[in-house]
Structure 1
Amino acid sequence: MSNGTDRSLRMLSTALEMEKKGKSFYEIAISTCQNELGREIFQMMMKDEGMHMDRIKNIYEALKAGEAWSEKWKSIKPDHKDLGILFKEMASAHGTEITAKTSDLEALDIGIDLELKSISFYQQHLAKAVDPMEREFVDQMITEERSHHAALSDMKLYFSDPAAWFVEHERHILDGV
């Protein structure tokens, strides 16, 4: 195998472990979250991490078998629209009457940290990726991890200060400002 393929296999192996940790975390967050909206978002995050794992496994197995990077990974897609947009719609439907336990906010902090680490990992690898299809894959992973980060960050603001979230996202005009 070439050095590029070895590098890609190492990256994919590390990425798979990161995605497994993320999926496990979101499984726990679903079971401990006291808020229905939080559980719904964590459920989607868990499914996305599973989808990422499937993509990574498929690419890893193909490269290990001596195949080149291909577009096969593109067929494994989320079954929902962008999580940031989806969260905004769900939050708008729930209104400002929302309560979150401290443990829910702590779970959000952990999730935000996991997503930031994933973004950083993929960005570092993007700089090393040579194959155009590999670059496209890594770039797509960065995009999806950023979407996760944005959704979790939005959810944290919404849970900690729903009124501020609505001011920021619904673009209400404040009287006297």
Structure 2
Amino acid sequence: MDDLFEVLTRSEEMAGKSAEFYARAAGACSDALGAAMLSMLRREKLLQMWRLRAVRLTVRHESWNAVKPPVEEGIPLRIVFRRLAVRHEPPRPPLERELDALGMALEMEQAIVGYHGGQFEDAGSDAERRFLEQLIAEGQEVILLITDLQYYFTDPHGWVMTADADGFLVD
């Protein structure tokens, strides 16, 4: 595993760059729901960046034992998206800008999960592994949301049928 502070610093930088990307993508999005979801992803990445900074400072000045696990707050974004999508007018394809942005977002998030997965394999302590496991899980959740958004923008009616069959559209 890379030096612990290097991993935390790099992870913080990746979260910050992701937040910047989602802000630009939201601004270029012609679909209101897509722009809202990309803005929410930006917010999540900013929160992650700040949390990573706090962890890095805590580890530097104290120890891994002083790091508190993140508190689960609110409803997962994928569920928020599914609930909002049924209340919006379906998008009118083609939405090439949105799909291009989502393709880039997917590649970015897969690279981030891959980086954390590689660090997980070489982690030196259980605390480090648990922390990296949490980052991997968060990244995988974002990947699921992005693939859901891609499907929604490609085939809104097919997406609604699938989401309804999965039971996600029941309040």
> Please, what TM-score do these two structures have when normalized by structure 1?
0.84
Q: Identity of counterpart residues, as a percentage?
A: 23
Alignment match of 1:107 (pick from 92, 101, 123):
101
Query: Greater relative contact order (Cα 8 A, min sep 6): structure 1 or 2?
Result: 2
Distance 1:142 1:92 in 2: 29
Contact conserved, 1:48 with 1:78, CA < 8 A, in 2? no
Counterpart of 2:4 in structure 1 is: 8
**SS state of the match for residue 93, structure 1?**
coil
User: What's the Cα RMSD here?
Assistant: 2.0
- String of CA shifts for 1:107-129, please: whole Å, max 9, x gaps: 11111111111111111111111
**Structure 1 unaligned blocks of 5 or more:** 173-177
Counterpart of 1:124 in structure 2 is: 118
Distance 1:92 1:35 in 2: 14
Residue identity matched to 2:152: Y
Query: By how many angstroms is 1:71 displaced?
Result: 5.5
Alignment match of 1:49 (pick from 37, 41, 45):
45
Counterpart of 1:155 in structure 2 is: 149
Distance 1:112 1:163 in 2: 22
Counterpart of 1:175 in structure 2 is: none
For the pair shown, the structure with the greater C-alpha radius of gyration is 1
**Structure 2 unaligned blocks of 5 or more:** 167-171
Query: By how many angstroms is 1:80 displaced?
Result: 3.3
Counterpart of 1:62 in structure 2 is: 58
Alignment match of 1:98 (pick from 73, 91, 94):
91
- String of CA shifts for 1:26-60, please: whole Å, max 9, x gaps: 11011111111111111111111111111111111
Contact conserved, 2:109 with 2:143, CA < 8 A, in 1? yes
Count of residues in correspondence between the two structures: 165
- String of CA shifts for 1:117-144, please: whole Å, max 9, x gaps: 1111111111111222221111111111
Distance 1:83 1:121 in 2: 23
**SS state of the match for residue 25, structure 2?**
helix
Query: By how many angstroms is 1:99 displaced?
Result: 2.5
